[in-house]
Every structure is written in structure tokens, then in C-alpha cells.
């Protein structure tokens, strides 16, 4: 169907303006999650911040912006110029997809880090190459046969062999180079 661009506005905390005694700060993973969720569904995100009476940002805001900036330094290609994935690509469990139609790159954001294998349902024959976005390290693409019943074993499913140790990224991103 037709995709309609949309936009959302969020805050760093429960308040739209500065509140000295604020205790409801969102952490970096929550803020990045909102950003990724927005882009993965074809949206744009605005992030509101209320400065103090002196015109400064609260320490918590500065810290969050620094951490978001650090993540964006390595993973911004999965956000800028991206939108929702094309039809035929379903997000693996606990993941969100973003897609850049110019570069034909699909990005998998790992909200929960998987153990050893990440199942990509129906991705068989669609992926040339897989790598972590933050450091460009290759991720092996494989198939697993002989697991589960015939109903559970789909020949179009492929598996990414994920390192045991989670990368030092708040939300790791896998970049997939597609055939078309």
C-alpha cells in the first residue's frame, strides 16, 4: 500500500520544559529505540529539550546527547536517508529494520542481542553480504537444516552467525547488502 510519511515529537523526560526535580529521564537505549522505531515505520522523530533558566541543558540531557552522538558516529547510515523495509522483509524477533532505497542496504537493529544465530525468515537468495555497521566486520550467512519439524524448517530462512560477545554498542546494527 501507499506509505504516508509521519513525524513524532518526544521528550528526554516526562516534562516538555525544564523541571529542576525531574526524575523520569529516558535512558539512551530508550531514546535510540524511539528513533529507530520511528524510522523503521517510515517516520521522523523530533526530540524536545527544555533548557534551564540560564539557557543550559541539564546534565542528563548533555549525557544522553553525548551517548546518542557516539552511537550515531558509527550507526548513522542506518538512520539518515532510511525508512521502513520493503515488503517481503520481516524483522527477526526483538529487532527493527530500516532500509535505504538508494544504496539497497537493509539494517537490522538488535534490541536484544541474540545467542549465536539470528534467524532471517524468508531472506534466502536476497542477501549478498552481512556485516556489523559499527566496525565493518563480516557476519557469516548460513542455513541450518535438521532442526525442528518440517513445518519449522523453511528452506528460505537463513541464519546469521552472531559472535557470542555483544559488541560495545547500545543497540548493535547489522548492515545487509541486498541483491536488488
In terms of DSSP H, where are the helices of 10-160?
28-40, 59-75
Per-residue pLDDT, 147: 52
pLDDT at 4: 84
Predicted pLDDT of residue 149? 45
Give this prediction's pTM. Answer: 0.91
Identify the bridge partners of residue 43 per DSSP, sorted by sequence position. Answer: 6
Residue 120 forms beta bridges with which residues?
Answer: 158
Sort residue 148 into left (φ over 0), alpha (ψ -120 to 50) or beta. Answer: left
Q: What pLDDT, in 10s, does the model give residues 10-45?
A: 999 888 888 888 888 999 999 999 999 999 999 999
Which ranges of the chain have pLDDT less than 50? 146, 148-151
In order of 90, 146, 166, 180, the CA distances from 83 in angstroms are 14, 36, 26, 17
Q: What is the pLDDT of residue 150?
A: 45
Task: Look at residue 5 in the predicted model and tell me its pLDDT.
Answer: 85
So what's the pLDDT on residue 21?
Answer: 87
How confident is the model at residue 155, as a pLDDT?
74
How many angstroms separate the CA atoms of 105 and 79, rounded? Answer: 11
Amino acid at each position: 500500500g501507499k506509505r504516508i510519511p509521519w513525524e513524532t515529537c518526544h521528550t528526554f523526560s516526562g516534562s516538555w520544559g525544564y523541571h529542576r526535580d525531574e526524575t523520569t529521564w529516558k535512558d539512551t537505549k530508550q531514546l535510540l529505540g524511539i528513533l529507530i522505531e520511528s524510522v523503521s515505520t517510515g517516520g521522523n522523530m523530533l526530540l524536545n529539550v527544555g533548557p534551564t533558566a540560564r539557557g543550559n541543558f541539564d546534565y542528563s540531557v548533555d549525557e544522553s546527547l553525548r551517548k546518542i552522538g557516539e552511537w550515531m558516529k558509527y550507526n548513522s547510515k542506518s538512520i539518515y536517508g532510511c525508512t521502513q523495509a520493503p515488503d517481503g522483509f520481516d524483522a527477526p524477533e526483538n529487532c527493527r529494520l530500516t532500509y535505504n532505497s538508494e544504496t539497497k542496504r537493509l539494517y537490522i537493529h538488535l534490541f536484544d542481542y541474540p545467542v549465536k544465530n539470528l534467524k532471517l525468515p524468508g531472506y534466502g537468495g536476497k542477501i549478498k553480504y552481512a556485516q556489523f555497521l559499527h566496525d565493518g566486520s563480516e557476519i557469516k550467512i548460513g542455513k541450518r537444516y535438521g532442526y525442528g519439524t518440517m513445518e519449522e524448517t523453511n528452506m528460505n530462512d537463513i541464519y546469521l552467525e552472531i559472535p557470542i560477545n555483544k559488541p560495545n554498542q547500545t543497540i548493535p546494527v547489522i548492515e545487509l547488502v541486498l541483491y536488488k
